Amino acid sequence: MRREVDHGAVSPKVAERRFPDPIEQRTRWAAAEAILLPGLVQDLVLAQRRAITATLRMFDRLREEGEFLDELDARLADDEFFRYAGSTVDRSDEREIERVFIDVPGESTRGDEPKRRRIKDLTVRLSWIAHDERDASLRIRFSFGHDATRDWLEPDLRAAWSDRLGAVTFEEHAALRAALARHDVPGALLAAPHRLSELIVYNNAPGGGAVFHHDADPGQRGVVYAQLDGRTVWLALPRRALAELAAAHSAFPADEVFARMLAHDDRAIWELLNVTPALTGAIAAQGALFVLEPGDVLLLPSHDEERCCWHSVFGVGRAPSLAHSLAIFDALPDTLRDPRLESA
Ligand SMILES: [Fe+2]
């Protein structure tokens, strides 16, 4: 169920939860197909139980109109770097609940060493996932700078500080970053050294979830999504494959669906993709439905707008779940290294 539309039932086949070998992973990545890594961070889910439960309770309080700033303050109080710099609410975005700005004060140093720069406008944004009262899903995104100019897509020293802010705020996130680095995910799939940034902490509620979209922003190579508690069900497949399946459930040719699916206001295509249970069934029959269990990691490749993995998420179960998602970018150049982060 998503927003009162019944898309059908799924029974996970435990026996088919096979870990793909490196060749299969590379083949799927090149084809912009989703890659499920079952149980990759299972140990973390057990070891971080206390932190994961604390994050779930925090989301419960926020849903009951708890103060976001109080929650952040409690998590950051002891940190040596981060300082609260203000809050805003974007009235033009109905989904946004609050955006908190965090700075790192500059510091003078000894002798002729350069003064350490002040880091400004790290942002932590709490929002609803949908413009829809039937969907109680929440998310928290860590970023920096201005949305309008899409600062976060450029190599920027603040990206590294934003990464650290996410890891300090959520203990389980620090552990997740370490686990992904240990497993070299998604390292071997990429042509160049990478970083994982733009953390989004998801609390997908039963009956909610994100509708079909892609994340093929310039410079963004893909997404890593780690399920830490509860389950989510995903439809994830390359844009072309989705257009072809959707065309078979409509009066539109596949090329037309392919072209129109990028528009934000195309009601007919939106309904075809998001509220057509027969299409959901056809996508599942093609093997592009994934049930994520705690400890599973899903990789979504984005080579460019044409070759990217489109995805749609369903919150299932009895309680909101917990997942952390990270966007994959090329590593920052050496000129954008901050010694304070290296020693921290
Ligand atoms: Fe996404």
CA of 236 to the centre of ligand 1 (A): 10
Expressed in angstroms and rounded, the spacing between residue 338 Cα and the centre of ligand 1 is 29
What tokens were used for 77?
Answer: 């109080």
CB 102 within 8 A of CB 77: no
Domains of the chain: 35-106+117-232+290-343 (2.60.120)
Report pLDDT digits (tens) over 184-233.
999 989 999 999 999 999 999 999 999 999 999 999 999 999 999 999 99
| pLDDT over 90 (residue 56) | yes
Reported as a single tens digit per residue, the pLDDT across 62-74 is 999 899 999 999 9
- Mean pLDDT of the residues in the chain: 94
CA of 317 to the centre of ligand 1 (A): 21
The partner residues of 235 in beta bridges, in order of sequence, read 289, 312
Rounded alpha-carbon distances, angstroms, from residue 258 to 211, 239, 240, 248, 281: 16, 7, 7, 12, 20
Distance 147 CA to ligand 1 centre (A): 17
pLDDT at 113: 67
pTM (2 d.p.): 0.95
300 CA to middle of ligand 1, Å?
Answer: 8
Residue 108 CA to ligand 1 centre (angstroms): 41
Residue 344: its pLDDT value, please? Answer: 61
C-alpha 212 to ligand 1 mean position (Å): 8
H or E element, residue 271: helix 267-274
CA distance 225 to 209: 14
Query: Around ion ligand 1, which residues have CB less than 5 A away?
Result: 215
DSSP 194-240: EEEEEEEEEEPPTT--PPSB----TT--EEEEEEEES-EEEEEEEHH
Task: Look at residue 109 and tell me whether its pLDDT is greater than 90.
Answer: no
CA–CA separation, 271 vs 29, rounded Å? 28
Residue 232 Cα to ligand 1 middle (Å) = 13
Residue 91 has a pLDDT of 86
215 Cα–ligand 1 center, Å: 5
**How much distance in Å is there from the Cα of 327 to the middle of ligand 1?**
9
How close is the Cα of 256 to the center of ligand 1, in Å? 23
pLDDT of 110 higher than 80? no
Query: Please, which residues have CB within 8 angstroms of residue 18's CB and are 6 or more apart in sequence?
Result: 38
Distance 42 CA to ligand 1 centre (A): 22
Can you tell me whether residue 51 is helix, strand or coil?
A: helix
Over residues 9-28, the pLDDT tens digits come to 998 777 678 999 999 999 99
pLDDT of residue 182: 97
Residue 41 CA, ligand 1 centroid: distance in Å: 20
Residue 37 has pLDDT above 70, yes or no: yes
Using an 8 Å Cβ cutoff, are 139 and 203 in contact?
Answer: yes
As to burial, measured by CB atoms within 10 angstroms (0-12 exposed, 13-18 middle, 19+ buried), residue 211 is middle
Cis before residue 105, ω within 30 degrees of 0? Answer: no
77 pLDDT band, cuts 50/70/90, is: confident
Task: Map tokens 């370490």 to a residue.
Answer: 178
